[in-house]
C-alpha cells in the first residue's frame, strides 16, 4: 500500500460524496450510530490521526500523539478534527480531502523503517496507508448508504487492503464484499456477519 493508494481512495470517496444531496447529511450512516456528517468527520479524523502518529522524529510506540479528542454530543465520535457546520457539505468534504492529503504526504515522506503505535499493532508507513484506505472505503460505504448514493471502490484496491490487513479473510470471494465482511458490515455466502473483528497493522515478517 502506497501514498498513491491513499490519494486514490480519498479522491474517489470525495468524488462520490459530492454527488449527494447536500441536505441529506443528517441521515444515519448505514449501520452506525452516527449520522453521515459525524461519520465523515470521524473519517477525516482517522486520516489525520494516522498521519500525526508517524509525524514526530521519534513516533510513539505505546500511545497516541496527545491531541485532545472530544465528542460534540453524547454517543458521537471522539475527534480532534471537526468541520465548521456553516461551511456546509462542501466544507466538510474539503476537511476530508485535506486530512487525506496530510496522510498521503506523511506516508510518502516517512522512512519505511518508521513504526508508530496503533491498538491493532505498531505499524509502518505502509500499514498506516492501508489503515487509512480501509477507513476511507468502509466509512464511505456507511455514508453512501445513508445518503442513498452508489459506492463501489476498485476491486484491486480492496484486494491489496485485505492482503495487508486481513490475512485470515477468504481469498476466493469478491473483493469489495469481502472487505465489508471483514469489517463487520455484511455476511458472505457460507459466512455469517462478524460481530467482532480487527485488522493487523504490524509489518509482515
- According to DSSP, the residues that pair with 191 across neighbouring strands are 188
Task: Count CB atoms within 10 A of the CB of residue 44.
Answer: 29
Give tens-digit pLDDT for 24-48.
Answer: 999 999 999 999 999 999 999 999 9
**CA separation, residue 7 to residues 98, 137, 183 (Å):** 11, 12, 21
Cα separation of 130 and 132, whole Å?
Answer: 5
Q: What is the pLDDT of residue 204?
A: 77
What predicted TM-score, i.e. pTM, was given to this entire model?
A: 0.94
Domains of the chain: 3-182 (1.20.120.450)
Is pLDDT above 90 for 193? yes
Query: For cell 510518502, what's the residue?
Result: 108
pLDDT given at position 113: 93
State the cell numbers at 181.
465482511
For residue 179, the model assigns a pLDDT of 98
Q: What is the pLDDT of residues 42-74, one digit of tens each?
A: 999 999 999 999 999 999 999 999 999 999 999
80 burial (CB, 10 Å; 0-12 / 13-18 / 19+) is middle
E strands in the chain: none
Q: Cell digits for 187?
A: 455476511
Rounded Cα distance, 61 and 59, in Å: 6
Instruction: Identify the band that residue 184 occupies on the pLDDT scale cut at 50, 70 and 90.
Output: very high
Amino acid at each position: 500500500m502506497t501514498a498513491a493508494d491513499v490519494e486514490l481512495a480519498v479522491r474517489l470517496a470525495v468524488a462520490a460524496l459530492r454527488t449527494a444531496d447536500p441536505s441529506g447529511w443528517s441521515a444515519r450512516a448505514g449501520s452506525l450510530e452516527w449520522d453521515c456528517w459525524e461519520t465523515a468527520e470521524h473519517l477525516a479524523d482517522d486520516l489525520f490521526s494516522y498521519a500525526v502518529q508517524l509525524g514526530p522524529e521519534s513516533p510513539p510506540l505505546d500511545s497516541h500523539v496527545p491531541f485532545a479528542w472530544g465528542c460534540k454530543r453524547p454517543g458521537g465520535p471522539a475527534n480532534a478534527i471537526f468541520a465548521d457546520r456553516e461551511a456546509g457539505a462542501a466544507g466538510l468534504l474539503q476537511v476530508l480531502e485535506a486530512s487525506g492529503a496530510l496522510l498521503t504526504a506523511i506516508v510518502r515522506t516517512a522512512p519505511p523503517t518508521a513504526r508508530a503505535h496503533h491498538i491493532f499493532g505498531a505499524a509502518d508507513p505502509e500499514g498506516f496507508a492501508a489503515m487509512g484506505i480501509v477507513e476511507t472505503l468502509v466509512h464511505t460505504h456507511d455514508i453512501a448508504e445513508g445518503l442513498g448514493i452508489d459506492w463501489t471502490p476498485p476491486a484491486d484496491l480492496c484486494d491489496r487492503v485485505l492482503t495487508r490487513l486481513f490475512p485470515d479473510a477468504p481469498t476466493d470471494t469478491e473483493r469489495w464484499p469481502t472487505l465489508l465482511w471483514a469489517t463487520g458490515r455484511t455476511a458472505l455466502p457460507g459466512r455469517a456477519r462478524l460481530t467482532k473483528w480487527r485488522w493487523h497493522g504490524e509489518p509482515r515478517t
